């Protein structure tokens, strides 16, 4: 299809000077609006005002300028329809072959914190309408919605003098995608402003662009990509590309480390913490976290909530770690850590906020809000005859925070705010207890005078028996089983203190 007449109305004028001059060189008659027209005229491009066609001025501060049948008829007319062409000729209307439109920067206005009034003024009306019209009529009109598309159009026109049907189909597809992105951004903004108390909305909007092409998914035969803005939360400072599994583990590590205000370290392997600790300083926290399961830590991901210095960097280099995450690094620490050329170093830009969690299931999607429930120490209920000591209570709160981020069924043993053994992802909760005990034994750690946390209630008293036999003196769990009385009785028999939280933290 030869391009004879174009309508150009853009907010982002990147590359427009070159593109418009190219169109002019190829004899394209250009019509434009407002600021775009002035931009072209200032650069010597012979462009005409859209009002020459509409015979109607731009009004309402530019809110109405292209919404006119003289414009839309020229975009929507089918060039293969004799009836359409006859009507156009009878009304003295002209045909458009190319529509070049990009939209008011609504998303940018929202990101920069503009007021509601200013954000609304950045909602484009005419632009999406022009784009939709041209995309609908792609057989007769090409549509360009992004400056990055200029090169393709120029190359094709230069080679053949036309824009082929296949290219017009591709441009139309991207046009509808862009309008959908834009409308979803507006709808989500309105939901936040006008329906702030709703956590789940109908319909579900999921709209994000691919920002990372991954080598593959969980396995080499699977395709993997990342949609969204990774850089909003993390800055990659060093190392090879991130993998699908890296990203899943990074999310798990960061969410766990966010549970703590005091200096903390979490070491993650396959989304589960194999070691976690808090301490007086970050160096000590790492040393303690590593002792919990040094074998599993190999090839893991380590996250900190304090700056990494050269002293810490030196011992981090002693084992193989896939990823290191911290809010900052000293210059000397970075130089040390960069000696491992493939290891990824991430700077945490900001915490991951509660959000909708979406998974595909049964041909559809299951959605929930984040498990952001916080443990209220004042709401804990002691259900045994023996009350926990202050030290046991501190350890139980620590263990329960870690347990929240362990795959169910989850059991965590801890002492002095250090994990000693973690049992994860078992079909039987008592098996998780046994695995946690065996992990501590394998690491040479005693469970005497430890505490234990469970992410859900104990269905049977055998869990308490196993925990007590390991040497734990206190247990924290949600409670709520029909056999709670049996578990309490078993705890009393062994002199173990037990606390109910009333909050379950299943993690499938």
Q: Are 73 and 96 in contact (CB under 8 A)?
A: no
Phi, psi dihedral angles at 449 (to 5 degrees): 60, 25
**365 Cα distance to chain centroid:** 17
Strands in 194-343 per DSSP E = 210-213, 225-227, 234-238, 264-269, 272-278, 300-304, 321-326
Those residues with Cβ within 8 angstroms of residue 311's Cβ, 6 or more apart along the chain or in another chain: 283
Annotation says 270 is catalytic: yes
Q: Where are the alpha helices (DSSP H) in 28-125?
A: 34-42, 51-54, 69-76, 82-91, 106-111, 116-121
Question: Reading across the β-sheet that carries 5-9, which strands appear in turn?
Answer: 47-49, 29-32, 5-9, 98-101, 142-144
Q: Is the peptide bond before 409 cis (omega within 30 degrees of 0)?
A: yes
Which of 79, 84, 236, 270 does the annotation list as catalytic? 270
Phi, psi dihedral angles at 303 (to 5 degrees): -125, 140
Measure the N-to-C terminal CA separation of the chain; round to a whole number of Å.
54
Annotation says 136 is catalytic: yes
Which helix (H) or strand (E) covers residue 132, if one does?
A: helix 126-136
Dihedral of the alpha carbons of 48, 54, 57, 61, in degrees to the nearest 10: -90
Q: Are 399 and 413 in contact (CB under 8 A)?
A: yes
User: The tokens of 363 are what?
Assistant: 């041909």
Which of 136, 238, 338, 434 does the annotation list as catalytic? 136
DSSP structure string for 471-508: T--EEEE----TTHHHHHHHHHHTT-EEEE-S------
Q: Which residues pair with 371 in a beta bridge?
A: none
Q: Which residues are catalytic?
A: 136, 270
């Amino acid at each position: 299809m030869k391009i004879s007449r174009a309508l150009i109305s853009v907010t982002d004028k990147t590359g427009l000077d070159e593109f418009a001059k190219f169109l002019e060189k190829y004899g394209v008659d250009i019509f434009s609006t407002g600021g775009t027209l002035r931009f072209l005229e200032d650069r010597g491009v012979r462009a005409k005002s859209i009002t020459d066609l509409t015979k109607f001025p731009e009004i309402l501060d530019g809110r109405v300028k292209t919404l006119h049948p003289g414009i839309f008829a020229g975009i929507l007319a089918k060039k293969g329809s004799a009836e359409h062409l006859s009507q156009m000729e009878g009304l003295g209307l002209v045909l458009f072959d190319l529509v070049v439109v990009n939209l008011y920067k609504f998303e940018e206005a929202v990101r920069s914190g503009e007021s509601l009034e200013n954000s609304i003024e950045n909602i484009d009306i005419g632009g999406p309408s022009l784009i939709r019209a041209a995309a609908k009529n792609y057989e007769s009109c090409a549509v360009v919605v992004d400056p990055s598309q200029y090169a393709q159009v120029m190359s094709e026109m230069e080679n053949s003098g036309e824009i082929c049907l296949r290219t017009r189909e591709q441009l139309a597809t991207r046009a509808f995608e862009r309008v959908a992105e834009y409308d979803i951004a507006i709808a989500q903004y309105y939901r936040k402003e006008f329906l702030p108390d709703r956590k789940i909305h109908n319909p579900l909007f999921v709209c994000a662009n691919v920002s990372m092409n991954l080598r593959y998914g969980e396995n080499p035969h699977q395709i993997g990509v990342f949609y969204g803005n990774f850089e909003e939360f993390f800055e990659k400072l060093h190392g090879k590309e991130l993998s699908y599994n890296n990203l899943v583990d990074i999310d798990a590590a960061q969410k766990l480390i966010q549970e703590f205000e005091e200096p903390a370290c979490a070491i993650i392997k396959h989304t589960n913490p194999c070691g976690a600790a808090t301490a007086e300083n970050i160096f000590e926290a790492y040393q303690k976290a590593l002792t919990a399961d040094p074998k599993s830590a190999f090839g893991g991901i380590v996250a900190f909530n304090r700056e990494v210095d050269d002293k810490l960097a030196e011992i981090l280099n002693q084992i193989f770690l896939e990823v290191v995450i911290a809010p900052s690094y000293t210059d000397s620490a970075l130089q040390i850590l960069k000696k491992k050329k493939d290891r990824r170093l991430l700077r945490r830009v900001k915490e991951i906020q509660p959000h909708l969690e979406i998974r595909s299931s049964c041909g559809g999607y299951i959605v929930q809000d984040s498990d952001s429930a916080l443990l209220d120490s004042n709401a804990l209920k002691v259900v045994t005859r023996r009350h926990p000591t202050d030290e046991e209570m501190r350890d139980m709160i620590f263990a329960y925070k870690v347990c929240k981020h362990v795959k169910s069924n989850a059991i965590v043993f801890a002492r002095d705010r250090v994990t000693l053994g973690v049992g994860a992802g078992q079909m039987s909760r008592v098996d998780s207890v046994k695995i946690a005990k065996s992990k501590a034994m394998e690491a040479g750690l005693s469970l005497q005078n430890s505490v234990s946390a469970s992410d859900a209630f104990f269905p049977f008293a055998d869990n308490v028996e196993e925990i007590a036999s390991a040497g734990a003196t206190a247990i924290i769990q949600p409670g709520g089983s029909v056999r709670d009385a049996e578990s309490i009785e078993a705890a009393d028999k062994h002199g173990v203190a037990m606390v109910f939280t009333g909050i379950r933290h299943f993690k499938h």
